[in-house]
Amino acid sequence: GEDVEQSLFLSVREGDSSVINCTYTDSSSTYLYWYKQEPGAGLQLLTYIFSNMDMKQDQRLTVLLNKKDKHLSLRIADTQTGDSAIYFCAESINDYKLSFGAGTTVTVRA
Amino acid sequence: SQTIHQWPATLVQPVGSPLSLECTVEGTSNPNLYWYRQAAGRGLQLLFYSVGIGQISSEVPQNLSASRPQDRQFILSSKKLLLSDSGFYLCAWSDSGGTGQPQHFGDGTRLSIL
């Protein structure tokens, strides 16, 4: 099946870490992605991870993958006001298709 | 580097009018191209994808059509718009290298139907 689920909202204080969680259902997914969407804009690819990896780190971003539980998370260290956006988790279904979650709106408060 | 352009950025059209949204990609050859719609509620729905000139795959039955007249040009069209066609339309591209190629999105077109 193709079903990616995310919590809808996350509020975090500036300077704290944000953790956005995602679950997916297609055990054959080979790649999982995180995208960021700022208001009125398109989706920006943040990072992606191959399914045989447990973790990937890129500056302030850390992706953790638990393939057994089909759970993916994105941690943003030292969250800034510019990190306020909608974050989408997506899984690869085949060579052409991605299945997206509904997005998590992250609000950074001072 | 590769870039993707979509236009127009916003469009207000009456019900029953035609539609043409255009997307072009620069800096790559033979990309896979995609049209998505993002309705209020933010989920993305894949409408069409194309793996080459003149090759269009439709994901959902709808009032829209797509064409790829050139390698890096993707067009979304309708002969007669419906109210339900309102939404945010996103074009995307990926390298044609098999599973795992990330998709890269344009800035989108906000379409409002009156």
* pLDDT by 10s per residue, chain B, length 114: 899 999 999 999 999 999 999 999 999 999 999 999 998 766 899 999 999 999 999 988 778 999 999 999 999 999 999 999 999 999 999 998 777 789 999 999 999 999
Q: Which residue has the higher pLDDT, B113 or A52?
A: B113
Exposed/middle/buried for A88, CB within 10 Å: 0-12, 13-18, 19+?
Answer: buried
Cβ distance A92 to B100 less than 8 Å, yes or no, reads: yes
**Which residues from chain B sit within 8 angstroms of residue A40, using beta carbons?**
108, 110
Chain A 47-86, residues with CB within 8 Å of chain B CB atoms: 48, 50, 86
To test the contact with chain A by mutation, choose from B21, B105, B107, B109 the residue with the greatest count of A C-beta atoms within 10 A, namely: B105
**Which residues from chain A sit within 8 angstroms of residue B93, using beta carbons?**
none
Mean pLDDT of chain A: 92
Tokens, residue B52:
């080459």
Find, in chain B, the residue whose alpha carbon is nearest to that of A30: B100
Q: For residue B15, give how far its alpha carbon lies from the nearest alpha carbon of chain A (Å).
A: 23
- Give Rg (Cα) of chain B: 13
Cα distances from B82 to residues A34, B20, B23, B61, in angstroms, run 32, 14, 22, 14
